[in-house]
Amino acid sequence: MIEVEDWAEIRRLHRADGLPIKQIARIKNVSRNTVRAALRSEGPPRYAREPKGSVADGFEPRIRELLMAYPTMAASVIGDRIGWPYSGRTLRTRVAELRPAYLPPDPASRTSYAAGELAQDDFWFPDITLPVGFGQVRSAKQLPVLTMVSGYSRWASAVLIPSRNAGDLYAGWWQLIQGLGAVPRLLVWDGEGAVGRHPDRLTAECQAFRGTLAARVYVCQPADPEAKGLVERFHDYLERSFLPGREFSSPADFNTQMQAWIATANTRWHRRLECRPADRIAADKAAMIGLPPVPPACGWHKTARLPRDYYVRLDGNDYSVDPAVIGRRIEITADLVRVRVSCDGRVVADHERCWAKHQTLTDPAHLQAARALRSARRLAVVPGPQPDEVEQRDLSVYDQITGQGVA
């Protein structure tokens, strides 16, 4: 079985670059049947290998302190200062990853983008607290806004999502791409945990997502905001023009107001382009990759056996399920709006996604069904022995035991 990265690259070479199967097989050094299988498959090949921690994790705070004070300090000197007991290569690798964050800024050159070439993605954390129901409010760090800006047209889009977990990130990302109507050939990200790290350490979820889209994903170096200056400027625009003077009653209200504002912003004159993003978006989309015929698997997906409690937990909340399927295997799926549970292809629960935490969401129909099942169980008659099955003992036995009736 091929790796997810090879599977994703095969699909990109065929769908985005238009290479024939025979040429792709030579490039990837695999058989043509392997290439055909990768192109026919609707999802990525599965593999389960969890990343392991590093011995450098416990020393990282001290390493950061030294680099903050002396950004150019050699790794060997850092090892002496912190009492490093392990391999020098492990320390040098970790220092090389951390050092760029503490070096002086590196000025960026002026960059131009071709139509359909790329889009920049990031999280925006507005300085607000948002009511999410049940008397709870959430801060910006808990409710991030996923943003995307196309390089050529500067077409902007954004959506508020419940969390930074991979399920919510890719559900929101796919929603933005669907709203755009095409797939940029290169998607630029920061070193987000659910996406990957620089230069090409993408997560399995990201490899599967980009493979379905047939696009590339590039993760920027740490502390290099100039590498995605378009989306950073869009964040500044949101903070200066969208947030001031606004109040929000719920996440849905926030998204409604933001979508209306962005629709207007995309029709405003752009000083750098000397035109409006709306004037360029058609040419931008024409040069992008078309939407995949099969949408990527995104959102929350998990399977479990329904316990007697007939509730399932997702993102800190409990959702009721039809108690008729207690003890059976169920599949739990969720996006940004709904939480659904199915059993043997039949939907047995459908709830609105709760953005608060530590709540129990109960469907009245499920509660009524549970009461009916408990009543039926209490009223069930347990069969017992019938009268003709009871042993009839001969009374003369008692006379023999007591000695009576013996001549």
pLDDT exceeds 90 at position 382: no
Report the distance separating Cα 8 and Cα 213, nearest Å. Answer: 9
Which pLDDT band holds residue 149 (cuts at 50, 70, 90)?
very high
* pTM of the predicted protein model: 0.66
Confidence tier at 384 by pLDDT (50, 70, 90):
low
The upper half-sphere exposure of residue 20, i.e. CA atoms within 13 Å in the direction of its Cβ, equals: 2
Quote the pLDDT of residue 6: 87
The listed range with the strongest mean pLDDT (8-22, 33-47, 271-285) is 271-285
Render pLDDT for 34-90 as a digit per residue (tens, 0 to 9). 999 888 888 887 765 676 778 888 899 999 999 999 999 999 999 999 999 998 999
- Please tell me the predicted confidence (pLDDT) of residue 336: 93
Of the pLDDT bands very low, low, confident and very high (cuts 50, 70, 90), residue 317 is very high
- Provide the pLDDT for residue 356: 93
Mean pLDDT, rounded, for 350-354: 95
Which band of pLDDT confidence, cut at 50, 70 and 90, is reported for residue 165?
Answer: very high
Split at pLDDT 50, 70, 90, the class of 170 is: very high
Q: 3-state SS string over 260-311?
A: HHHHHHCCCCECCCCECHHHHHHHHHHCCECCCCCCCCCCEEEEEECCCCCE
Instruction: Select the more confidently predicted residue: 1 or 189.
Output: 189
pLDDT for residue 287:
96
The residue that leads in pLDDT, 381 or 354, is 354
Residue 46 vs residues 9, 35, 182: alpha-carbon distances, Å = 16, 16, 27
Report the distance separating Cα 89 and Cα 282, nearest Å: 50
Distance CA 10, CA 12 (A): 5
The pLDDT of residue 174 is 96
Question: What's the token pair of residue 101?
Answer: 């964050």
Q: Are 310 and 366 in contact (CB under 8 A)?
A: yes
Domain boundaries, given as residue ranges, for the chain: 57-102, 107-286, 300-379
Tokens of 83: 């009492």
- Which pLDDT value is given to residue 405? 56
Share of the chain above pLDDT 70, in %: 94
Split at pLDDT 50, 70, 90, the class of 200 is: confident
Please write the tens of the pLDDT for every residue from 98-107: 998 898 877 7
Q: Which CATH superfamily is domain 107-286 in?
A: Ribonuclease H-like superfamily/Ribonuclease H (3.30.420.10)
Q: One-letter amino acid identity for 63?
A: I
- Taking alpha carbons only, the member of 7, 1, 2 closest to residue 211 is 7
**Mean pLDDT of all residues belonging to the chain:** 90
Asked if residue 386 has pLDDT above 60, the reply is no
